[in-house]
Amino acid sequence: MLSERLGARLVLERFEENPFLPKFYEDPEHYAFQTQIFFLLSRYKQQQELFQADLFHNFVITDYIFEKDKIFAYLTLQDEELKLYETLLNAIEKNVPTPDLVVYLQSSVDRLMANIRKRGRKMEENMSEEYIRDLNEAYNYFFFRYKATPLLIVKATEIDFVNNELDFQDLLEQILRPNRAAVEYYNPVRRS
């Protein structure tokens, strides 16, 4: 929606290309490393493509930041796997472009579980609430310490910017607001 409204180039994470992801959801311990490395290299390749000049768009919008890869790695990898992951990450992360603004849509576990059910991906059918709770806590921990770029934290549990134009417009105004502080919190009022 943002890319359409702003005429921006849209870059989406290509989760469906990861052949290990369905296996990870079935057996996380056995497939975490392969899944993580595939995502790391896929995201890196996408980020490298962002360096190419784009004459048709003034903005680029992605549905992830490269740094978030670490959240999953620290949550799912074993110690030896994590060491190898960090070695690879350290070799490539310096070549990744820095975003001008990061927007973190913070939500409750109940809302996240509802969103997962709503999108209806077969591989996510048996995703546990405990895993989502741990992941949500890890995201909160990460973003409440994030200092690499300006950050807008949006409390998104009670809003529906997909189906409510007023919610979307409020969010868009917050994103485009000039003179942004390094970290800002946006707790919108629910509109009907």
HSE-CB of 187 using CA atoms within 13 angstroms: 1
Task: Give dist(CA 7, CA 57) in Å, integer.
Answer: 6
Residue 52 has pLDDT above 90, yes or no: no
Number of other CB atoms surrounding residue 77 within 10 Å: 20
Residue 181 has pLDDT above 70, yes or no: no
Cα–Cα–Cα angle for 113, 169, 115, rounded to 5 degrees: 10
Domains annotated on the chain, with CATH: 1-98 (3.40.50.300), 100-192 (no CATH)
Q: How far lies 132's CA from each of 29, 62, 70, 123, 186, in Å?
A: 16, 22, 16, 14, 23
**66-111 per-position pLDDT tens digit:** 999 999 999 999 999 999 999 999 999 998 988 999 999 999 999 9
- Going by pLDDT thresholds of 50, 70 and 90, the confidence category of residue 53 is low
Residue 122 has pLDDT above 80, yes or no: yes
Average pLDDT, the chain: 90
DSSP category for residue 62: E
Residue 125 has pLDDT above 90, yes or no: no
| Residue that wins the pLDDT comparison between 55 and 159 | 159
Q: How far lies 73's CA from each of 4, 69, 87, 129, 191, in Å?
A: 32, 6, 13, 19, 37
Helices (H), 93-162: 109-119, 129-143
Q: Tell me, what's the pLDDT at 180? A: 64
Residue 169 has pLDDT above 80, yes or no: yes
